Chain A
Amino acid sequence: MAWRASHGGSPTKRSFIAAGLGLSGTALLAGCGKSAAQKRPALVVWHSYRGREKTALEEVAALYSAQVAGKARPVRCVGVPNDAFADKISAAVPRKKGPDLFIFSHDRMGGWVESGNTVAAIDFFLSDEDRQGFLPGMLDATTYKGVTYALPLNFKSAALIYNKKMVPNPPRTTKELVEIATKLTDKGRGRFGFAYAYDDYFFHAGIGNGFGGGAFNAAGDLILNDPANVAASDLVRKWRSELNLLPDDPANSLVTALFNEERAAMVMSGPWFLSEAAKSIDLGVAVLPMISEANNQPMRPWMTIEAIYLAAGTADEHEAWQFAKFLAGPLGSAIMAQKGGQLPASQAAYRVPAIANDPIISAFKAQGALAVPMPNLPEMTLVWSPADKAMKRFTKMETTSQSAWNDCQAEVQAAIDALRASQAGGRA
């Protein structure tokens, strides 16, 4: 926008361009340019937090603003509803109407980088020391094509959540899992040893990744019908349809209800489940079992990482960076963990005894070390719906896993090709 504005305003070769349309266009562009250069009285941070997370973030912002008072601008936090967040960012930031910083999960990052003018690269500010301050793998999630765009704040991944009364010792392998589940399951009476939304690709991915599959390989090619993914799917099919261990049509609400009514002893879910679980149940969190059918490889569930981004074109990137670093740093992450209940991505937060000694946090941290960040490729969003469809097809025995994934691979690949074709056309 900046260079176009300067072109419209500069004396050009044709002296007779002072015509109606030309003038109004110039004025419009010049207007945009001006509003971009303006520095706001405060650094604006968009977030979608509510409740205690919101309070914790505001506390960190107040702390930072007090520390830098007189030297830098204070921080103002603005809540934006979560379901509209990503689209608002895509629409507002390139038009210079957005915030200076924003907090969102890492999975939309690739799309923002590809569409341009949305997120700013931060490698320039990021020192090696800064990099070592995060848990291993966290920065990989916020790195796209070799460039880092955001600082990780916290992570969420599925783990094994179990009812301690019904399962004293959580299973370490899927063989043990099946043994315990077989003992506890009475499908006719609606009782299950193990329940999870197995036809939801998000939860299934832990098993698929454990087998060595996944949605994309390292080169970014789609590998949905890879033999590893098919083997993982056959395992779930066996649990559901041969051994009859899993409930039909398992929506997340059903899984929660089963667990809360003590009709399901173990579930696969993430930290968000803890606030839904009945307070009367003595629950424990453990790392997901190793897959006996895949040489005892661990399950590698997908991890989403919430990160703080610098919006492209913010008036003072260095000032914005300083707040991002403060929030992701030792002080900020400790407050967000203790008061906001988050699982921090920063190493330093785990030096706080109250965090380090919490068994639930420790279990999720151990699971996080085994988890893999959800791909941040823009193509990933095209996978969800067809993959869920494929999951339903083969879990309901409509077709084999192989043919369900073959169809899915073809469908997603066609969608990806259509998307990439538009990009090639647009950039030519």
Chain B
Amino acid sequence: MKRNLSAVFFALLIVLSGALFFLQQAAQHRDEAASGAVALVTASDLAKLGSSGLQAGLSEQAVGSLMADVLKRSGREGDRYRLVMRTGKELAASNWPDEAAPRPLSLTEKPLFDLILGLPAAGAKLTPTAQGAHAAAPLVVAGQRVGMVEIVQTSKTVGPALISMLQWGAIGIGVLAIVGLALVQPKLGAWAGVVVPLGVAFVLGQLTGANLASTAQVLLDNLNTSARAIDDAMRAVAVSNGLALTGDVARLDTAVVAGAVDGAALTTSLLFLGGLGAIIGAFISFGAAASTWRALKENPTAYTYVAPALIGMLALAFFPFFYGFVLSFTDTTLLNQGASWSDRWVGLANYASILGDFNFGGSGAAFNYQNFYWTMGVTIVWTASNVVFGVSIGLGMALLLNIKGLRGVAIYRTLLILPWAIPNYITALTWKGMFHPQFGAINQAIQAFGGQPVQWFDAVGPSFITGLATNVWLSFPFMMVVALGALQAVDEDMYEAARIDGASPWQQFWLITLPSLRPALLPAIIVSVVWTFNMFNVIYLVSAGQPSGANEILVTRAYRIAFEEYRYGYAAAYSVVIFLILLIYGVFQIRATSATEANNK
């Protein structure tokens, strides 16, 4: 009973504190957008007036006083403005208290000058600051940004609360009712910790959405009244000074308010929060929390010893993995890294685009080797052929080295392990050199025997062979060492018994040697498949996917998407797909292996 209550308590704590944070942020964004909308209109109107004033040959000071006039006529004298000119780096006009103008900008006022450069040539920019909404718009003469007008609006617009007190009360009563019901029906008690957070989050989401929709129009009408006043004042000033204005009356539409607060995203965030709360509630109410706590209390020393490794794993393995996983649901690229997560969120679009890529080219165009399924096919052929050759050569070498009475075994063994001991990128670059069509050792050898030189990197097949040869060279020593170790453990008596029974050497190999090797070789093959599947160095350094990226494998393709196309989100999704393929392979492989192991016993 106590456990169920604390489950509800902690789940609600999570949901409510998170929801309050989200709602406060949303309200703040909405109010900032509302205050900012007027500031934006003011800035762009003043800039429009200023631009036409400068074009008509008015001095910068005269333009400054026109701006002051507009603010006065529209009753916005509380707004602070600055007129900054690019040439001369000058503060031309200002109505900030204790700020003399005109004068050159001081060194500490560089941000004002930089603002001119940072503004779009058409339009204005809004930055909320502690003092109030801060908007700036460029003065444009002959297509050049010659200066800017900056508005800081000290008065703030405050909209109604997103959830009213009445609604909060209703939610509270609902929660109490469910808890009460759970107390009366002990069987259902444990589920309260799941139902309450989900329900609260859902209701909050629905209410916020409804409230946002109903208040947006009211807010907007107020804003448009203010904007109209500024617009009218500006036109009046323009007419009385004989200035011609271009463009339409500034008008705010629902997008201003709607754009500031994404209602759908807010609802989703709240639901996620509800899910999180439900997980925590379930964790407590179904007893997992208590048993975890008991385990911790019973084995404090063990957990203390494990803690450093656990923290290391969390920080170095799980966090990057989780980050990459989240990244894969965004369209993060070089250009929008700074945007918020919700702006970059695209859901499953990356996965849909990767898995739904059926553009194979053809019909006039070249074959599309960038296609995901082609790359996946190449990767699978690459992995399979490497493992087949690696294992057979490794096994063959191990059998040769295992011959009784062979002289110089130590020397052979050292020589054969060498490819493994040399860093693989050095080996890869060496092999690349050996495959050079004119100066490479391989073509020279072919020519020495009277053959025709092969253009190794010009066609899909030969180029694939270059990578295969290099990787087999790199991988057979590992298989050889594993097989050799296992061979030496095979009981000699079995061969003797087999010979007495008249078994041929071939039968001895298939019926004694191979089955004895299986426990050692299978894990090695599993590991080797994963390594080869993601063998970046060899592909990248030897053939680099030539020709036309046809020999790219999934992991090198992901690298190119991330670091040559700068589409980080897409590359993350690509990596997750690679992970899933290997996960599926791993699960099946382990099932199959444990099945055979069980049969042996």
A residues sitting closer than 8 Å to B (CB atoms) are: 3, 6-7, 10, 12-14, 16-17, 19-22, 25, 90, 94, 111, 114-117, 120-121, 123-125, 146-147, 187, 190, 247-249, 251, 253-254, 257, 317-318, 378, 381-382, 384-385, 389, 392-393, 396, 398-399, 403, 407, 411, 415, 418-423, 425-428
Contact = CB atoms under 8 A, between A and B. Distances in A.
A190 B366 contact: no
Given A3-B127, A7-B28, A7-B128, A21 B335 contact: no
A365 to B, nearest CB: 31
Contacts of A254: 436, 439
Contact of B331 (A3, A120, A147, A425): A425
A16 to B, nearest CB: 7
A427 B339 contact: yes
A-B pairs, top 9 by smallest CB distance, nearest first, are A426-B336, A426-B339, A19-B17, A20-B17, A22-B21, A423-B335, A422-B333, A6-B130, A21-B21
A378 B337 CA distance: 14
A114 B118 CA distance: 11
Contacts of B27: 13-14
25 contacts: A7-B128, A7-B130, A10-B130, A13-B158, A20-B14, A21-B18, A22-B21, A94-B337, A120-B114, A124-B110, A125-B110, A146-B145, A190-B439, A248-B436, A253-B433, A318-B110, A378-B335, A392-B548, A407-B366, A418-B565, A419-B565, A422-B331, A422-B335, A425-B331, A426-B344
Contact of B564 (A6, A384, A396): A384
Given A21-B18, A190-B438, A378-B566, 7 more contacts: A20-B17, A121-B118, A381-B564, A393-B548, A418-B333, A422-B567, A423-B333
Q: Which of B23, B24, B344 has the most CB of A within 10 A?
A: B24
A315 B504 CA distance: 83
A108 B28 CA distance: 36
Contacts of B129: 3, 6
A318 B566 contact: no
B458 interface: yes
B439 A17 contact: no
Contacts of B370: 411
Contacts of A389: 548-549
Q: Is the interface of A mostly helix, strand, loop or mixed?
A: helix
Nearest to A108: B334
Contacts of A146: 117, 145
Contact of A19 (B20, B128, B366, B548): B20
Interface in B413-462: 433, 436-439, 455, 457-458
Nearest to B32: A7
A403 B343 CA distance: 38
B455 A248 contact: yes
Contact of B366 (A94, A384, A399): A399
B365 A407 contact: yes
A425 B117 CA distance: 23
Nearest to B437: A248
A412 B334 CA distance: 16
Nearest to A5: B130
Contacts of B16: 19
A193 to B, nearest CB: 16
B21 A117 contact: no
B436 A419 contact: no
Interface in B8-49: 13-14, 16-18, 20-21, 23-24, 27-28, 31
Nearest to B105: A124
Interface of B: 13-14, 16-18, 20-21, 23-24, 27-28, 31, 89, 105, 107, 110, 113-114, 117-118, 127-130, 145, 158, 161, 259, 331-339, 343-344, 346, 365-366, 370, 433, 436-439, 455, 457-458, 546-549, 560, 564-567, 569-570
B455 A19 contact: no
Contact of B24 (A17, A399, A421, A425): A17
A323 to B, nearest CB: 15
A317 B110 contact: yes
A147 B548 contact: no
Given A22-B17, A22-B20, A398-B547, A121 B114 contact: yes
A130 to B, nearest CB: 13
A249 B547 contact: no
Contacts of A7: 28, 128, 130
B374 to A, nearest CB: 15
A123 B17 contact: no
B334 A415 contact: no
A90 B130 contact: no
Contacts of B117: 121, 123, 146-147
Contacts of B28: 7, 12-13
A129 B337 CA distance: 37
A427 B125 CA distance: 12
A147 B138 CA distance: 15
Nearest to B161: A14
B455 A396 contact: yes
A124 B113 contact: yes
Contact of B336 (A90, A121, A399, A423): A423
B113 A94 contact: no
- Most chain B CB atoms below 10 A, which of A20, A124, A420: A124
A419 B547 contact: no
B120 to A, nearest CB: 10
A421 B569 CA distance: 13
B251 to A, nearest CB: 19
Nearest to B436: A249
B343 A425 contact: yes
Nearest to A397: B458
B20 A16 contact: yes
B130 A392 contact: no
A388 to B, nearest CB: 9
Contacts of B24: 12, 14, 17, 22
B396 to A, nearest CB: 33
Contacts of A125: 110
Contacts of B344: 422, 425-426
A25 B21 contact: yes
Given A6-B129, A407-B365, A249 B334 contact: no
Contacts of B366: 399, 403, 407
A124 B109 CA distance: 10
Given A249-B457, A389-B548, A426 B130 contact: no
A239 B127 CA distance: 57
Nearest to B564: A385
A166 to B, nearest CB: 19
A318 B107 contact: yes
Contacts of B433: 253
A188 B18 CA distance: 75
Name which of B31, B127, B458, B566 has the most chain A CB atoms within 10 A of its CB: B566
Nearest to B438: A248
A114 B337 CA distance: 10
Given A12-B28, A22-B17, A116 B338 contact: yes
Contacts of A12: 24, 28
A426 B31 contact: no
Nearest to B453: A248
A198 to B, nearest CB: 14
B560 A427 contact: no
Contacts of A120: 114
B153 to A, nearest CB: 15
B564 A382 contact: yes
B338 A428 contact: no
A249 B31 CA distance: 63
Contacts of B437: 248-249
Contacts of A114: 334-335
A198 B89 CA distance: 48
A295 to B, nearest CB: 33
Nearest to A390: B548
Nearest to B107: A318
Contacts of B365: 407
Contacts of B259: 428
Contacts of B334: 90, 111, 114-115, 378, 419
